[in-house]
Amino acid sequence: MARYTGVYGFPESADGARRLADALNVPCHIAELHRFPDGESLVRLPEPVERAVVYRSLDRPNDKLVELTLAASVLRRQGATELCLVAPYMAYMRQDAVFRPGEPISQAVVGDWLGRLFDRFVCVEPHLHRTHTLDEVFVGRPSVCLSGAGAIADRLRRDGTAPDAVIVGPDEEAAPLVEAVAGPLDLTALVGRKERRGDRDVTVTLPDGAPLAGRPVVIVDDVISSGETIFSCARAARAAGAASVRVFGVHALFDAAVAARFEAEGLGTPLSCDGVPHPSNALPLARLIADALAAPC
């Protein structure tokens, strides 16, 4: 008997939910959402699911968190005995400490909130910093933290990436992703140093003597939003003599204006994994997630 008996998705991520359901060979149901004039949400889940996977990426998360809470309450009332949240992008993970007086530890707040609703969690590159595992976020709940590196490496392999290509990450936080992409392809890995002065004020420097002259560079990062980190990293790579620059991101959160800047910077369109629905999606995650769900906790 399959562990899960159905997948529930939401309108904005319906395609991803269906791909996952196909990979699991179970039915897929899409929640009905209604927004009242005052901004409140109404969630309808017409099909009961005994052991449900709830699929929703938590980019732009605030309304989605409330709607997940309502959906989980419905599924429990309908008799669900197990609820697994698959959130390819997990929100509120970066604020894992009090950096200035009066701030919340958002990671702990959201971890406790969702941990009361779901029995298990699967996320992809959840942007953890000082927290080492998702088990520290969802205390007492089994959780799986997946990497988008395999999807990026598969695409580079299919594209016939040159053997002298260098996989570059903009900072030390990107080092695990960089190494996981470069290792299976036997490519050189390189990590820069990022100085952030504000959300859109970033400078990336690469190590002195970085061996990039005349070589293709592939920049990889977990999240691309304003694009400033990637733009600075690409300029540094070109200053070091890179012959070409390609960009891959696990989670694409950038808008059309930033996409136009990528074109203006001569970087083309970055390729991203399909956990967050986005025009740049080119790297599938359904099989990776389905395999994780099939594995024992």
Q: Which residues are catalytic?
A: 194
Closest CA to 80 of 56, 55, 54, 101: 54
Which residue carries 């540094």 as its tokens?
Answer: 236
**Side-chain-facing half-sphere of 173: CA atoms under 13 Å:** 16
DSSP secondary structure of 65-98:
HHHHHHHHHHHHHTT-SEEEEEESS-SS-S--S-
Which residues lie below 8 Å from residue 145, measured CB to CB, with a gap of 6+?
A: 123, 124, 125, 126, 128, 133, 134
CB 88 within 8 A of CB 101: no
CB 12 within 8 A of CB 4: no
Token duo for residue 201: 């004020």
CB 250 within 8 A of CB 223: yes
The DSSP symbol for 270 reads P
Element (H, E) at 229: helix 228-239
